[in-house]
Amino acid sequence: MTVALLNIDWQTLADATGLGGIYALMAVGIGLVFGVLRLVNFAYGQLIMAGAYALAFASERGWPVSIGIVLCFAVVLTLSLLMDRLVFRPLRGQTPAVMLVTTFAVAFLLQSIALLWFGPLGKIASSLATLNQPVTISGVDIRKIAIVATAVAAFCLLVLVLLLERTRVGLHMRAAAMDFSTAELLGVRAGRVISAAVLVSGVLAAIVAVMLTVQNPLVTPDFALRDTILVLAGVVLGGMNRLVSATLGGFAIGFASGLLGGALPTNQSQYLPSFLFAAVILVLLVRPGGLFTREGHQAVERV
Amino acid sequence: MSVPLLVVEDLEVRHGAVTAVHDLSLEVDRGEIVGLIGPNGAGKSSTLHAIMGAVRASAGDVRVRGESVVGKRPEAVARKGVALVPEGRRIFADLTVDENLKLGLAGRRTRDGSDDDLARVYDLFPAVEESLRRKAGTLSGGQQQQLAIARALVADPEVLLLDEPSLGLAPRMVDVVFETLAAIRDRGLAVLLVEQRAQRTVALADRSHVLANGQQRLTLGPESAGDTAALVSAYMA
């Protein structure tokens, strides 16, 4: 069965949705920290990379999947909190340029550490490889990971919405993202809000690490680097200033990436990023504020 | 004789090389409104921000209930029972009125009795209660100012600092705001009011300090509200 144009079949569509879901989670992880710290964490991909190494470590020793996942969460969350204490907090209030360059440095530092410890050849995280097998739904073969990724992403986004909309810390996070200094004047505890954002962002990075290792079991020091760059482009494409638009941007770029990846003939797949970034540039030329931002949405002072 | 609730002593605030506030001393006790008036750039807002801990005091002391709060972060000062209604209201336009009020609860010292305080605030601002589900940005300017004051009050503060609450409001709303301040004083709060409307402030406040170029020029009682000459000369001095 084929959706006529570009030779896209249902399987590609499912894969694209799954990838869109994973990228949406990454966009949330980056967007949450950006919201409260006004810091674009370029090292987000290296958090995922560290989680992937944890999974590979467990997998190569033949440990059960559950242990591998616990280890992955432990490593990513520890690293997130360390990054917060050692890098984010001391940089609070610095110019965006200083913060961006510093997170670049952290990214390359982590990548170099991975290179020194694990070598350039990569480790295999194969515990969850069975998720790559297809299931047949009304005559269409769909990889299990596509379904799992879509479901996990939908579930995580739902939990996140509940957290942000229904809890005290969620309200404080939203307020801090809109106007941190006023939130502090009202007694919102800055440290707690930042920790919450960093922790949630870390949890998402760990989840993404699990799902990306299924898609790509070979864990190398540049694991998730390309994905992070695409997601960052997606976040800018969607609109950085609101979590919803950033998330939609992440989904869009993941979906487009999956779709194009399926549609392009295999021998031309190296052109995939070029197509994607060309599209990003075009969109930003037409809508510099982002694809999913509300036009003319500005706070108007009222009398 | 007990210590006044809020004591500011020889306060100095610098923004880089500029001294915004110089040697300012004032006291506000329960059930008092103290006015802080003066031309633009006189250091009125800087004083409030220094009390709140949002800018650093380079010299002097700020005490709440006799305890120094200098060097504390705003979130900590808020928990000492000090609330600020910032200039320009600074409400969260994309949040609902209800959510704005819930944010005000963040500054409470205890969560006990927050329902009672909400009820008291609704009593004072019926317009706020009527629009709980609306986005705060859709309120009129006067309603937004009421929300900003309400948001400060639900924290159950003992000291209320207000930074130009009448700025940009229609004349009728200015009346409402000043009436509200009198009602807040009658509840036993200590109110420090920064305003541009000098005459109205002098008439309302128990004492008003006139600031110019960061220095305290004059202190006026309500009886001087009609004495324009004294005000003008203090502004011009």
SS (H, E, C) chain B: CCCCCEEEEEEEEEECCEEEEEEEEEEECCCEEEEEECCCCCCHHHHHHHHHCCCCCCEEEEEECCEECCCCCHHHHHHCCEEEECCCCCCCCCCEHHHHHHHHHHHCCCCCCHHHHHHHHHHHCHHHHHCCCCEHHHCCHHHHHHHHHHHHHCCCCCEEEEECCCCCCCHHHHHHHHHHHHHHHHCCCEEEEEECCHHHHHHHCCEEEEEECCEEEEEECHHHCCCHHHHHHHHHC
For residue A298, is pLDDT > 50? no
For residue A241, is pLDDT > 90? no
The pLDDT of residue B111 is: 78
The pLDDT of residue A268 is: 78
Q: Domains in chain B and their CATH numbers?
A: 6-236 (3.40.50.300)
Q: Give residue for tokens 């790559």.
A: A132
Q: Which band of pLDDT confidence, cut at 50, 70 and 90, is reported for residue B7?
A: very high
Higher pLDDT, B231 or B16: B16
For residue B209, is pLDDT > 50? yes
Higher pLDDT, B182 or A263: B182
Set of chain A residues whose Cβ sits within 8 Å of the Cβ of B140? 302-303
Q: Which band of pLDDT confidence, cut at 50, 70 and 90, is reported for residue A294?
A: low
Q: Which amino acid is at B24?
A: L
The pLDDT of residue B131 is: 94
Q: Which of A187, A299, A303 sits opposite B170 (nearest CB)?
A: A303
Is residue A137 packed enough to be buried (19+ CB in 10 Å), middle (13-18) or exposed (0-12)? exposed
Looking at residue A167, what DSSP letter applies?
S
Higher pLDDT, B101 or A266: B101
Q: Is A192 on the interface with B (CB under 8 A)?
A: no
Name the token pair of B148: 């900003």
For the segment A163-183, the average pLDDT, to the nearest whole number, is 95
Rg of chain A in Å (alpha carbons): 20
Q: Is B72 on the interface with A (CB under 8 A)?
A: no
Q: Is A143 on the interface with B (CB under 8 A)?
A: no
Looking at residue A303, what DSSP letter applies?
-
The pLDDT of residue B235 is: 76
Q: Is A184 on the interface with B (CB under 8 A)?
A: yes
Secondary structure percentages of chain A, helix, strand, coil, to 5: 75, 5, 20
- CA-wise closest residue to A214 among A144, A263, A135, A266: A144
For A265, residues 6+ apart whose C-beta sits below 8 A from its C-beta are none
- Judged by CB atoms closer than 8 Å, whether chains meet at B137 and A300 is answered as yes
Percent pLDDT > 70 in chain B is 99
For residue A293, is pLDDT > 80? no
Which H helix or E strand runs over A171? helix A168-178
The answer to whether the Cα torsion of B193, B197, B198, B201 is positive or negative is: negative
Phi, psi of B160 (to 5 degrees): -115, 125
Q: What is the mean pLDDT of chain A?
A: 90
Q: Which band of pLDDT confidence, cut at 50, 70 and 90, is reported for residue A3?
A: very low
Q: Give residue for tokens 């509940």.
A: A162
What gap in Å lies between CA A154 and CA A27, rounded to an integer?
14
Rg of chain B in Å (alpha carbons): 17
The pLDDT of residue A45 is: 97
- Judged by CB atoms closer than 8 Å, whether chains meet at A185 and B141 is answered as no
Q: What is the mean pLDDT of chain B?
A: 92
Q: Which band of pLDDT confidence, cut at 50, 70 and 90, is reported for residue A222?
A: very high
For residues B174, B119, B182, B138, the Cα torsion angle rounded to the nearest 10 degrees is -10
For residue B37, is pLDDT > 90? yes
Which range is least confidently modeled, A32-41, A217-226, A262-271, B185-194?
Answer: A262-271
Q: Which of B90, B137, B142 sits opposite A182 (nearest CB)?
A: B90
Phi, psi of A141 (to 5 degrees): -80, 125
Separation in Å, CA of A234 to nearest CA in chain B: 24
For residue A302, is pLDDT > 80? no
For residues B2, B7, B10, B11, the Cα torsion angle rounded to the nearest 10 degrees is 170
For the segment A69-73, the average pLDDT, to the nearest whole number, is 97
Q: Which band of pLDDT confidence, cut at 50, 70 and 90, is reported for residue A300?
A: very low
The pLDDT of residue A93 is: 82
What gap in Å lies between CA A62 and CA B117, rounded to an integer?
59
pLDDT digits (tens, 9 = 90+) for B192-206: 999 999 999 999 999
For B43, residues 6+ apart whose C-beta sits below 8 A from its C-beta are B13, B20, B21, B22, B24, B211, B213, B214, B215
pLDDT digits (tens, 9 = 90+) for A33-50: 999 998 999 999 999 999
Name the token pair of A159: 């939990």
Please check whether residue B38 is in contact with residue B210, taking contact to mean a CB–CB distance below 8 angstroms: yes
What gap in Å lies between CA A169 and CA A242, rounded to an integer?
18
- What's the ipTM? 0.90
The pLDDT of residue A1 is: 41
What gap in Å lies between CA A105 and CA A111, rounded to an integer?
10
Q: Which of B103, B141, B170 sits opposite A186 (nearest CB)?
A: B103
Is residue A129 packed enough to be buried (19+ CB in 10 Å), middle (13-18) or exposed (0-12)? middle
Percent pLDDT > 90 in chain A is 68
For residue B216, is pLDDT > 90? no
For residue B236, is pLDDT > 60? yes
Q: Which of A174, A189, A302 sits opposite B140 (nearest CB)?
A: A302
pLDDT digits (tens, 9 = 90+) for A86-110: 999 998 888 888 998 999 999 999 9
